[in-house]
Structure 1
Amino acid sequence: MTATKPYVVGIAGSSGSGKTFFLNCFVNHFASHEIALISQDDYYIPAHTKTQEENKRYNFDVPTAIDRNAFYRDIRLLFEGHTVCREEYTFNNPALKPKTIVIRPAPLLIVEGLFIFFYEEINNLLNHRIFLHAEPDIALQRRLKRDLVERGYHEEDVRYKWVNHVVPAYRQYLLPFREQCDRIVINNTDDPAPIIAITDEISAELRNIVPGLNHPS
């Protein structure tokens, strides 16, 4: 199957940097046939392969926690014009039933995740890189709110992983690539207006350079 290579935007940020809200705002600027999103989070090696004790302290914030080969393979499949199906990862929350995610090829491909710059084979595919940052105390409060409410974790566990897993991983696998990114977005406020404005600006720029994207009338 022949296909036109998509324009690839890589988006990464520290935990609690507001990446989910940023991505939602960004994606909403485009029609469904114009944009595809593939997330590293859906390529975690299944936690049920670990014992219950291992899972309590299992480090999800290392590159080996991801099925790196499958992540890269599916990105390449999108490049070749194929549709990718993947089961959503639910972060060990038994209350959530995983959905099947269907990713169809599009002229604009968003690749997001903590290790997308560290994985050299994926970083080499990116045309544009966006780095999201929030101050550590703000990021931790956001992480606590998310993990306690959405994922059902205990606060002690969240704080342990923050100190021992999350922050070291950010410093080792993401922060060194910050200055290589095309745009650094500082997100220290929960006011949505600045993020909406930034995504307005980026989407307008992309419509001028990416073939296959419609220009608003």
Structure 2
Amino acid sequence: MSKKPYVVGIAGSSGSGKTFFLKCFLNHFKDHEVTLISQDDYYIPANTKTQEENKLYNFDVPSSINRTQFSHDINDLFEGKVVYKEEYTFNNPALTPKILEIKPAPLLIVEGLFIFHFEEINAMLDERIFLHADEHIALARRLKRDLVERGYDEEDVKYKWFNHVLPSFEKYLYPYKNICDRIIENNTDDVANMVKITDEISADLRKKLF
């Protein structure tokens, strides 16, 4: 790569539909045009803790992320280097983590809860997208995901939501909402609307980059 990639930061509250948004968005580009690096893959391992300790462990604070390595790997992508990273499996012993191969590309997507809060990450971003959903809708989505996909206990999910997730969102993400270039309120599960939004954003980026 002859120049720094164009960097888009994408963040959203838990249950905001960020995962689906990213899937739709990335489908607009070929593999060599875009790459994604996710803050979730930089959680400091908590597998030394017992299951009971993990119920209380707060993953929704900046100190739960290996911030130095996250920043280092983004800079490596800037320099045209390939990054190899073990994926994060949410401390699920039934899952074997894959080794992610993150290749440099003209368009770099950086996503995660703290990307605006981490000053050194925020300074790298050329564009910022904020996804948001009303609290009751976001909680319903979180419950569906964690109970069905991750096999968590409902009481545990609700405890973490009110004691970890919401306070973290209000302290480390919501204050940055107004600095973002695009705010997406996602209170419906309207697939067509999300596809339309990603159509518009990808078209704008293509004009700038390709």
Q: Which residue of 1 aligns with 2:131?
A: 132
Alignment of 1:44-193 (within 5 A): 44-193=43-192
Cα pair 1:77 1:84 within 8 Å, conserved: yes
SS in 2 for 1:5: coil
Cα pair 1:3 1:79 within 8 Å, conserved: no
Query: Deviation per CA, 1:59-90, whole angstroms, max 9, x where unpaired?
Result: 00000000000000000000000000111101
SS in 2 for 1:49: coil
**In the aligned structure 1, how far is the partner of 2:80 from the partner of 2:110?**
16
Alignment-mate amino acid for residue 13 of structure 1: G
Query: Deviation per CA, 1:99-131, whole angstroms, max 9, x where unpaired?
Result: 111110000000000000000000000000000
Q: Which residue of 2 aligns with 1:21?
A: 20
Tell me the TM-score normalised to structure 2 length: 0.98
Q: Which runs of 5+ in 2 are unaligned?
A: none
Q: Which runs of 5+ in 1 are unaligned?
A: none
Alpha-carbon distance, 1:51 to partner: 3.9
Alignment-mate amino acid for residue 6 of structure 2: Y
**In the aligned structure 2, how far is the partner of 1:51 from the partner of 1:145?**
24
Alpha-carbon distance, 1:151 to partner: 1.3
**Alignment root-mean-square deviation, CA:** 1.0
**In the aligned structure 2, how far is the partner of 1:70 from the partner of 1:188?**
34
Alpha-carbon distance, 1:55 to partner: 1.1
**In the aligned structure 1, how far is the partner of 2:14 from the partner of 2:93?**
22
**In the aligned structure 2, how far is the partner of 1:148 from the partner of 1:50?**
21
Q: Runs in 1 of length 4+ with deviation above 4 angstroms? A: none
SS in 1 for 2:63: helix
Tell me the TM-score normalised to structure 1 length: 0.95
Alignment-mate amino acid for residue 147 of structure 1: D
